[in-house]
Structure 1
Amino acid sequence: MSLTLDDFDYTLPPELIAQAPLPERSASRLLVVDDGRLADRRFADLPEFVRPGDLLVFNDTRVIHARLHGVKESGGQIEVLVERAIGPHEALAQVRASKPPKAGSRLRLADAFDATVLGRVGEFYHLRFPDGDEVHALLERHGKLPLPPYIQRAAGDDDESRYQTVFAREPGSVAAPTAGLHFDDAILARLAGCGARCAWLTLHVGAGTFQPVRVDDLGEHRMHRERYVIPQETADAIAATRAAGGRVIAVGTTSLRALEAAAQDGPLEAGSEETEIFILPGFRFQVADALVTNFHLPRSTLLMLVSAFAGLETIRHAYAHAVAGRYRFFSYGDAMFLIRNDDAV
């Protein structure tokens, strides 16, 4: 089957794009999708669908204060979104300006320090930050939390906690692993009580997660690179779960991408790598049996991923159901629980 970008489009009323979190993390809705069957539930019901012996794999990345405002030497206003640190004092970043800054020029950021433009690396600028504090320390002190572009307001005090998972611990993302935002301590305790186990990996989400697909021929699309770390204890837990007949449940597309990337060349192994894996319908999943995820943007690579996981027609039906049912969409929106369907198209 030859797929184009139009195969992953849908109409979303703008008012369904969640602009703020609900008062309680687990108060969101949950659409359960199993072999084409749909069930409208609450996220607090998730433990009912998890079996004893199942393993949930979470992404423990932490969102950094990656957004900085400043000026060029000419006085022109700029906005910098740090993609990732590539050393103690260097980073790759997106820079929005009326005219692109030149290599060798300096950027005055947050009216606090200067960064030097060393050049370009693809779509990003290579920036050198001042000696002294490392990149993440400077960002934590002077940067702002970067909410997604479809949230049409500046980050507030509540976002400092609510746009982080309760288990966030490894700083490095510019966007939250949003499926994890629904989990609170009570849900985690109930999952443990029903005999499920939890494991952790780290994938730092880059700004490229919001980049649109610009080609109709999906074979020409190139994914952004993201680094992930799978600890040995997580690899061991997955192997033990498999041996005992349990399911591996990926919490979020970031966890799923890391797991599947690590298993492309053979059995999953612990370690740290970069991935630009692009998952489309027809992809053969090796690790994840189920997926907790939010609703994704039209024409996006993440919508393609969930279509590969549950089936394109199933996802089309589920999304039409969610729109008709007035579910809340995207980062602060509601969730889905998808069971993998290897036979669906």
Structure 2
Amino acid sequence: MSAGTWSGLAADVMTEDFTLPGELEAREPPEARGPSRDAVRLLVSHGGTGEVGHHAFTELPGLLRPGDLLVVNNSATLPAAVRLDRLAVHFSTELEDGTWLVELRRRTASATEPFTGGAGGEWLPLPGGATLRLLERRTPRLWRARLDRPVPAYLGRNGVPIRYSYVERDWPLEAYQTVFGVVPGSAEMPSAGRPFTSDLVTALVSRGIGVTPITLHTGVASPEKDEPPYPERFEVPETTARQVALTREAGGRVIAVGTTVVRALETAALPDGGAVPEPGGAAGPLPGGGTEALPGGGTGAPEGAVPTGGIRAARGWTSHVITPSAGVRVVDGLITGLHEPRSSHLLMLSAITGGELLSRSYAEALREGYLWHEFGDLHLILR
């Protein structure tokens, strides 16, 4: 997707642009103010009625119905930022050959900003005696690079969570984990799952609401960039694909917890299986890149297209961007944070709820003082 095409799509998402006041940027986790992490607000948009309501997030079990299914992202957050004297290296995505996509950032007094320097073949000395070699530029912001030692273990000793300027201080890695995160791999937190607690999950299950996982490892995002998301590694396991199908057959609703979940589920429901190459690599089956069929499932339609709402187990890479014109096949609702204008997330939200209701919902959120970003409030959208 070209930059011009993307800008045109993004501009059409919301007819009313808005400016996010600084006081509505969540600068710390809610538990830093005393309450638990589920002490956030929940904006609720009903596509069927056009109503917009205001709730506490702890009211979620009563807002859903027995037989509904929550699909969550079980990716855990890495301490993906490594700080040098003047630069920071953000480790984004591991590739099949053991190299990583990384972003170079210039350190500032408050956080970091994009750094356009660097050259192929350049070696960067990192803390702890490690060396990072820049191999080639893969996008305007991302390099393919190789560290001289295993990256996850190195980050565990020398990395910190990625932090943007609206968060005024460092927080421990635990603040960037969700109760569902058991598979390390995300550069940035799948934040829609953050307010969930064990007690809240118990209340949901006790009400007859199912919970099942997918895995999608998020790469780096940058609030100052107006660009589509990069390809990301995902897996929709066979058990989850089966639960989604059974829920829909029984008349229940499939509610995605996070835009990452929507991306994974909708990729697995594409007629062609959603196969894409590894970022910057050649097309083909894994390990070279693309989407691989799982036992008992598969991403390619055996005979003809996947029926609307159909989903199969799948894993690989997805570059799927959900737009209003493409629509959604699987999800009936979404729990997500509040997003900035001109982002791919708003394209997705508009595809689920419609542009008019989305505009009214965001106007309500601004008027009522909802908080934005990963430590902020949540938005439940029901079709």
TM-score range, shorter chain: 0.7 to 0.9
Answer yes or no: is the 8 Å Cα contact 2:72–2:212 preserved in 1.
yes
Summarize the alignment of residues 180-191 of structure 1 with structure 2, pairs less than 5 Å apart. Answer: 180-191=193-204
Separation in 1, partners of 2:251, 2:220: 37
Answering whether residue 239 of structure 2 is matched by residue 233 of structure 1, we say: yes
**How far off its partner does 1:89 sit?**
4.7
Query: 1:182 is paired with a residue of what secondary structure?
Result: coil
Residue of structure 1 in register with 2:261 after alignment? 255
Residue of structure 1 in register with 2:92 after alignment: 83
Aligned-residue offset at 1:152:
3.5
Other-structure match for 1:176: 189
Percent identity over the alignment?
34
Structure 1 residues 310 and 52: alpha-carbon distance in aligned structure 2, compared to 1, 3 A threshold? same
Partner of 1:165: 178
Instruction: Report SS of the residue matched to 1:190.
Output: helix
The CA distance in 2 between the partners of 1:99 and 1:231, in whole Å, is 39
Of stretches 88-97 and 224-233 in structure 1, the one that deviates more from structure 2 is 88-97
Aligned counterpart in structure 2 of residue 314 of structure 1, from 351, 354, 357: 357
- In structure 1, the residue corresponding to 2:102 is in which secondary structure? strand
Secondary structure in 1 aligned to 2:131?
strand
- Structure 2 residue identity aligned to 1:136: P
- In structure 2, the residue corresponding to 1:128 is in which secondary structure? strand
Aligned partners of 1:99 and 1:303: how far apart in 2?
28
- Please say if 1:283 is aligned against 2:292: no
**Residues 93 and 232, structure 2, Cα contact 8 Å, conserved in 1:** no
186-195 vs 24-33, which moves further: 24-33
CA contact (8 A) 1:110 1:143 kept: no
Write out aligned runs for 1:25-36 (5 A).
Answer: 25-35=37-47, 36=50
Q: Distance in 1 between matches of 2:168 and 2:197?
A: 25
Name the SS for the 1:27 alignment partner. Answer: coil
Q: For 2:183 and 2:76, how far apart are their aligned partners in 1?
A: 5
Distance (whole Å) between structure 1 residues aligned to residue 268 and residue 224 of structure 2: 24
Going from structure 1 to structure 2, the CA distance change for 1:229 and 1:196 (only over 3 Å counts) comes to same
Q: 1:281 is aligned with what amino acid?
A: P
Task: Report if the CA contact (8 A) 1:88-1:135 is conserved.
Answer: no
Aligned residue for 2:84, secondary structure, equals strand
Which residue of the partner structure matches residue 96 of structure 1? 105
> Could you tell me how far apart the structure 2 residues matched to 1:114 and 1:186 are?
44
Find the aligned partners of 1:41 and 1:192 in 2 and give their Cα distance.
20
The farther-off stretch of 250-259 and 268-277 is: 268-277
Q: Deviations over 1:39-91 (max 9, x none)?
A: 111000000011111111000111101111236xxxxx322111112257521
- Preserved contact between residue 10 and residue 342 of structure 2 (Cα < 8 Å): no
Gaps of 5+ in 2: 1-7, 107-114, 272-305
Count of residues in correspondence between the two structures: 322
Give distance in 2, aligned partners of 1:89 and 1:281: 36
Q: Could you say which residue in structure 1 is the equivalent of 2:146?
A: 128
Matched-pair contact (CA < 8 Å) for 1:62–1:171: yes
1:194 aligned onto 2:212: no
Is the contact between residue 43 and residue 379 of structure 2 (CA under 8 Å) also seen in structure 1?
yes
**Residues 155-207 of structure 1: CA deviation (Å, up to 9, x unaligned):** 223xx222110121111111111110110001100001001111000001111
Q: Counterparts of 1:88 and 1:135 in 2: how far apart (Å)?
A: 13
**Structure-2 residue corresponding to 1:17:** 25
Say which is worse superposed, 280-289 or 224-233, in terms of deviation.
280-289
Q: Which amino acid aligns with 1:80?
A: V
Equivalent pair of 1:112/1:142 in contact (CA under 8 Å): no
Q: 1:212 aligns with which of 225, 241, 244?
A: 225
Shift of 1:92: 1.1
**2:289 aligned partner:** none
Partner of 1:304: 347
Matched, 1:67 2:81: yes
Is the contact made by 1:53 and 1:197 (CA closer than 8 Å) also made in structure 2?
yes
Q: Distance in 1 between matches of 2:265 and 2:124?
A: 38
What amino acid does structure 1 have at the position aligned with 2:66?
P
- Could you say what secondary structure the match of 1:79 adopts? strand
- Determine if contact 2:322/2:328 at 8 Å carries over to the other structure: no
Q: Is the 8 Å Cα contact of residues 81 and 160 (structure 2) preserved in structure 1? A: yes
The 1:208–1:276 alpha-carbon spacing in structure 2 relative to 1, beyond 3 Å, is: farther
What is the CA–CA distance in structure 2 between the aligned matches of 1:52 and 1:29, rounded to whole Å?
22
**Does the Cα contact within 8 Å between 2:42 and 2:378 map onto a contact in 1?**
yes
Q: Partner of 2:194: helix, strand, or coil? A: helix
RMSD, matched Cα? 1.9
C-alpha deviations, 1:114-142, integer Å up to 9, x for none? Answer: 112222222321211114xx211111111
Shift of 1:282: 2.7
Q: TM-score scaled by structure 2?
A: 0.80
Residue 70 of structure 1 aligns with an amino acid whose one-letter code is L
Asked if the contact 1:248/1:287 (under 8 Å) is kept, the reply is: yes
Q: Is the 8 A contact 2:10 2:343 kept in 1?
A: no
Counterpart Cα distance in 1 of 2:361 and 2:380: 11
Corresponding residue of 2:301: none
Alignment gaps of 5+ in structure 1: 72-76, 215-221, 341-345
